[in-house]
A = this chain, B = another copy of it.
Amino acid sequence: MNLYISICHRSIHTRNKALQKIPTKAEIDVKFNFTKHSNTINLINKDISSYWNKTVTLQGWIDKKPKKLGKNIAFATLRDFEGNFTQIISKDESIVEKLQRSQIEDCISITGKITERFSKENEDNEMRWDLNIEELNTLNSSDILTSQLESLKTLPNEFPQQYRYLQLRLPYYQKALKTRSKTSNLIRNHLINDLNFTEIETPLLFKSTPEGAREFLVPTRKNSMFYALPQSPQQYKQLLMASGVKNYFQIAKCFRDEDLRSDRQPEFTQVDLEMSFAKSRDVQDVIESVVSKVFKEVGQNEVLTLNENGGAVKGPFIHLEYDEVISKYGIDKPDLRSNLKIENISEFVKNPINKEFPITEVLVLKNAFNGKANLPKTLFNDLEYKNRKPTIVPIKTDDDITNWMNKIPFELINVKKLQSQLQLSQGDVIAFSTRSNISYENPTPLGRFRQLAIQEFPSQWRRCKEDENIAIWVENFPLFNPIEIETNSKQDYPQYDYTKFESTHHPFTMVNLNDYESLFSDPLAVNGDHYDLVINGMEIGGGSRRIHDSSIQKYILKEILGINNYNELFGHLIKALELGCPPHAGFAIGFDRLMTILINTNTIRDVIAFPKTSNGSDLVVNSPSDVDNATLKQYFVQKL
């Protein structure tokens, strides 16, 4: 990074000097009084035969450092403002000289004649003609910094993010921004025109309701009074249901002051919706329609789902139960492009080692070695696992096919049947672990192992082609979790306080009607009417039927969750339920994540114009920044 720091310092010096040099009127005229572009490269490409020898004006940037050929010919590449390329060329002495003085990323306007390619040597298929420069005007010049940064542009992790705008000039990012715009517009049109939704903006200056993630606070000019930025429009959209809105949606900015991970940003966008006089299935139908349409019109492939036999097919997304996906895949958001499946071998275990974790499971990676001598180290790395790591046994030799059982810390019974069920061969890997009946560990040790195996063996154990997408519904989650006891040391088994509960999703989720009566006797036994949409192992969104009965809502807040000041925090919502609020259900799609799948990238940074770094900084504008005490005083706060 030192290179860039010293560049910055140098440029500050130049800047101070520049203050004394004011452009002349003639220089300003060139920059501001320009002729408007008559064409774009794309328009000319589409109809090149009628453009030969025509004079056009094009505008954009110098994409590669101009080169001189022979005595008096100079070339350069123009990238126009649509991200297309053409070669510009001149044999005129003064223009050649001007072109040679140009920097990469100078912003230029060129008027010239369209001619055949002068040199076919470095023929680039995208560039089918030359623009013979008649007039070259520099609308704004670039400086030495841009050419120094040029080679880093395609390396998102190495490009200095304070110059993000230079990186965004790459056609890849321009396309990502356009695809995002097209997608949000497609979603809006589908919801508004086809599905009778109304987009309604809800306030961003909201109230602190400390539930779930940490909030951002906004001091006001009233003593001790603060707004909070919303984590989602959840409460306002439920109030809109009480307001008589039939189908609400909003593509909404949301805020979460959490420690950031690769797929999280402190501000993010969600497609938020809610429907009154509706049940969960009505909402799921809408979401499925939206997602299918988006993949069809914007994605590189339509979205597939599973059939009952586990095949990848088109059609309505399959509905899987939480219990089922935890048993088979060890996580509530399984990547079902892979057909790796966990097997329950509890029947073969004589005495489980920990009574709270009675289920014993294995996951077999068939032919994981595939001729190679070693397995990826990631699979064995303790840091990749939250608590426990499964025991992982490579089957390297014929002996291992039977010997692996010796590595298990408990006694197996009925071994023959087990062996015949597993059908191990040389080259396989077997991993085993345990879990509790209702697993609050999510992922389980084997679920995490499965994720790592998918990551390390991207083309093995697949049920669909590499670029195909698999979507599933996961539903019937436990409505509450026991609270995990936090410890400082990493321990084998997570510990839970089974007398204290938290909502698995949020406290407004309705219990499954079948479980209603258990809500009052055994809260941990009930499932909620919540549903997640999972695509390619990513939770693309979640939703639920909400509680519209105020007495159930109060019971859950006070008696189950123990929120004694529930009325201060949520009184507005409870009152709204009491004044004839209709039944309702809703959903929120994580729009940034959806976009990463649609443009096929691993990083959320590619679909956001100005993302924040992992410590919440925007290096372009240098935020957050210090604020002086006098300003803070107006808001009745001071620094600690």
Contact = CB atoms under 8 A, between A and B. Distances in A.
Contacts of A621: 206-207, 235-236, 239, 572
A482 interface: no
Contact of A203 (B163, B267, B635): B267
A580 B200 contact: no
A367 interface: no
A618 B203 contact: yes
Nearest to A607: B201
A622 B572 contact: yes
Given A244-B83, A625-B225, A146 B269 contact: no
A296 interface: no
Nearest to A268: B201
A70 interface: no
Contact of A18 (B28, B207, B550, B620): B550
A198 B214 contact: no
Interface centre among A226, A282, A618, A621, by most chain B C-beta atoms within 10 angstroms, is: A621
A229 interface: yes
A442 B484 CA distance: 63
A627 B208 CA distance: 7
A513 B32 contact: yes
Given A31-B548, A204-B253, A624 B583 contact: no
B81 A205 contact: no
Interface residues of A, number: 152
Nearest to A33: B513
A174 B200 CA distance: 11
Contacts of A166: 243, 579
A460 to B, nearest CB: 38
A624 B225 contact: yes
Nearest to A196: B82
Contacts of A626: 224-226
Interface stretch (A183-191, A377-385, A446-454): A183-191
Interface string A235-251: 11001101111100000
Interface string A8-42: 00011001001101110100110111101100000
B269 A201 contact: yes
Interface in A276-309: 276-277, 279, 282
Contacts of A616: 205, 220, 222
A274 to B, nearest CB: 13
Interface stretch (A114-122, A534-542, A551-559): A551-559
Contacts of A219: 217, 219, 637
A202 B610 contact: yes
Contacts of A351: none
Contacts of A267: 203-205
A611 B198 CA distance: 18
A46 to B, nearest CB: 15
Nearest to A31: B549
A634 interface: yes
Contacts of A572: 162, 620-622
A103 to B, nearest CB: 8
Interface stretch (A137-145, A418-426, A489-497): A137-145
Contacts of A34: 277, 583
A552 B222 contact: no
A50 interface: no
Contacts of A242: 165
Contacts of A218: 216-218, 229, 624
Contacts of A32: 510, 513, 545, 549, 583
B276 A81 contact: yes
Contacts of A202: 609-610
Contacts of A623: 203, 205-207, 227-228
Contacts of A277: 34, 36-37, 59, 81, 109, 139
A498 to B, nearest CB: 23
A177 B240 CA distance: 11
A81 B198 contact: no
A313 B632 CA distance: 52
A598 to B, nearest CB: 16
Given A204-B267, A623-B207, A580 B105 contact: yes
A243 B216 CA distance: 29
B554 A631 contact: no
A576 interface: yes
A174 B196 CA distance: 13
A583 B174 contact: no
Interface in A129-153: 139-143, 145-146
Interface in A155-174: 162-166, 168-169, 173-174
A223 interface: yes
A210 interface: yes
A278 to B, nearest CB: 8
6 contacts: A25-B517, A203-B267, A205-B616, A205-B623, A222-B615, A637-B638
